[in-house]
């Protein structure tokens, strides 16, 4: 088969469409013939040499894909050759074939094309596990999503609105904020021109955000704590603004607030399977009834993954960029 390999870490040109051995599905795994993969910010870090795949994972980039099952490994039940699926991956989505633990498979939701389904697993699992399973966002509460027009952000807005929450977003341009509003965002904050703590305070009559989904890490730690409501929950999923910040514990205490930080990729198989099962139960019906849709900016042939990386690295996209395998 062919896959995108990274012979030497570097810029987008480091991504090479190469002939590589086919993966063999192990115990509890299936082989998926990939129709499409999707780009995540983490893939850029992997390309640059800063985010190595966890032990045992495919060396190729790609944290999600869609396609058809072509073989079952030993001990797999509930799936059949020919099933159309999408999958959460620890790697290997930028390839024509990938071996996937069966617990990380999802059926293609009703009403959605096979290709588009590639845009869902990583963002849905990340948002559901952090905003709902950890931070327990409830109807009527306010969620602040940093980077509202990102792959993660576009999903977080839709899921939070679908459960009846109020959504505030930050983004870097007016056009991106407009796209967030189209997806349902109620409070729009341009992080280049406005102070999100002050804007949120104004929009919530001083209450703040019950839950914050944060991609920035250190750079926003202090401001995020200030923007939290009493009993607020800050869910950190990214470190785009650095890894070491200073925390005002007094402010956290007074607000009786909580901070969590999780990474999906390296979690044990059982934890990923539990998240995927929760997504299938709670999110798939919302996709099937049209409340939640993947936001696809554009698609690129997989061998041209470098072009997709250039766009995502420059934040020239809204939602997801798909990588379509040549046929």
Binding of ligand NAP at residue 240 (CB under 6 A)?
yes
Binding of ligand NAP at residue 151 (CB under 6 A)?
yes
Binding of ligand NAP at residue 309 (CB under 6 A)?
no
Close Cβ partners of 105 (under 8 Å, ≥ 6 residues apart): 30, 32, 69, 79, 85, 86, 87, 276
Q: In terms of CB distance, is 105 or 157 closer to ligand NAP?
A: 157
Q: Answer left, alpha or beta for residue 88, where phi above 0 means left and psi between -120 and 50 means alpha.
A: beta
The Cα–Cα gap between 54 and 182 comes to 37
In the bound complex, which residue of the shown chain has the CB atom lying closest to ligand NAP?
Answer: 238
Binding of ligand NAP at residue 172 (CB under 6 A)?
yes
Q: Tally the C-alpha atoms within 13 A of residue 236's C-alpha that lie toward its C-beta.
A: 22
Binding of ligand NAP at residue 70 (CB under 6 A)?
no
Contacts with ligand NAP by CB under 6 A: the residue count is 28
Q: Report, in this order, helix, strand and coil percent for the chain, each rounded to 5.
A: 35, 25, 40
The tokens describing 30, both together, are 């299936």
Q: In terms of CB distance, is 4 or 312 closer to ligand NAP?
A: 312
Please, where are the H alpha helices in the chain? 41-48, 121-127, 151-162, 174-182, 196-203, 218-227, 249-255, 269-282, 284-288, 305-313
Question: Minimal distance in Å, beta carbon 306 to ligand NAP?
Answer: 16
Distance of CA 180 to the CA centre of its chain: 16
Task: Report DSSP state, residue 254.
Answer: H
Stretch touching ligand NAP by CB under 6 A, among 87-95, 107-115, 180-188, 256-264: 256-264
Q: In terms of CB distance, is 25 or 103 closer to ligand NAP?
A: 103
Question: Minimal distance in Å, beta carbon 177 to ligand NAP?
Answer: 8
Instruction: Please list every residue from 179 through 198 that binds ligand NAP, using CB under 6 A.
Output: 191
C-alpha closest to that of 193 among 219, 174, 216: 174
Binding of ligand NAP at residue 237 (CB under 6 A)?
yes
Question: Minimal distance in Å, beta carbon 148 to ligand NAP?
Answer: 7
Q: In terms of CB distance, is 72 or 224 closer to ligand NAP?
A: 224
Binding of ligand NAP at residue 262 (CB under 6 A)?
yes
8 Å CB contact between 33 and 85: no
- Map residues 16-55 to x or -, x wherever contact with ligand NAP holds by CB under 6 A: ------------------------xxx-------------
Question: Minimal distance in Å, beta carbon 88 to ligand NAP?
Answer: 10
Q: In terms of CB distance, is 153 or 303 closer to ligand NAP?
A: 153
Q: Binding ligand NAP by CB under 6 A: which of 116, 122, 199, 299?
A: 122
Q: Return the number of other C-beta atoms located less than 10 Å from residue 269's C-beta.
A: 14
Compute CA distances 241 → 23, 158, 217, 226, 265, whole Å.
36, 25, 5, 17, 20
Binding of ligand NAP at residue 152 (CB under 6 A)?
yes
Bridge partners (DSSP) of residue 41 are none
Binding of ligand NAP at residue 66 (CB under 6 A)?
no
Residues making contact with ligand NAP (CB under 6 A):
40-42, 122, 126, 146-147, 149-153, 170-173, 176, 191, 215-216, 237-238, 240, 262-264, 312, 315
């Amino acid at each position: 088969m062919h896959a995108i390999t990274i012979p030497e870490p570097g810029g987008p040109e480091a991504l090479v469409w190469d002939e590589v051995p086919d993966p063999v599905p192990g115990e509890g795994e299936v082989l998926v013939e990939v129709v499409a993969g999707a780009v995540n910010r983490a893939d850029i870090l992997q390309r640059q040499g800063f985010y190595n795949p966890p032990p045992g994972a495919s060396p190729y980039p790609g944290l999600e894909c869609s396609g058809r099952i072509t073989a079952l490994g030993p001990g797999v039940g509930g799936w059949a050759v020919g099933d159309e699926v999408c999958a959460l991956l620890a790697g290997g989505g930028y390839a024509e074939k990938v071996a996937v633990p069966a617990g990380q498979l999802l059926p293609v939701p009703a009403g959605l094309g096979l290709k588009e389904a590639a845009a869902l697993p990583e963002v849905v699992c990340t948002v559901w596990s952090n905003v709902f399973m950890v931070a327990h966002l409830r109807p009527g509460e306010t969620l602040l999503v940093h980077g509202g027009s990102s792959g993660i952000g576009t999903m977080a807005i839709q899921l939070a609105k679908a459960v009846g929450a109020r959504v505030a977003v930050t983004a870097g341009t007016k056009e991106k904020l407009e796209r967030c509003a189209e997806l349902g965002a109620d409070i729009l904050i341009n992080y280049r021109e406005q102070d999100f703590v002050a804007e949120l305070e104004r929009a919530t009559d001083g209450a703040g955000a019950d839950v914050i989904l944060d991609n920035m890490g250190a750079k926003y730690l202090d401001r995020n704590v200030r923007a939290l409501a009493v009993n607020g929950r800050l869910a950190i999923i990214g470190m785009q603004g650095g890894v070491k910040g200073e925390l005002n514990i007094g402010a956290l205490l007074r607000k009786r607030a909580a901070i969590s930080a999780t990474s999906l990729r390296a979690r044990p198989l059982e934890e990923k399977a539990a998240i995927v099962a929760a997504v299938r139960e709670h999110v798939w019906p919302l996709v099937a009834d049209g409340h939640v849709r993947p936001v696809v900016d554009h698609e690129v042939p997989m061998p041209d993954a470098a072009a997709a990386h250039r766009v995502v690295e420059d934040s020239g996209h809204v939602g997801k960029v798909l990588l379509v395998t040549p046929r």
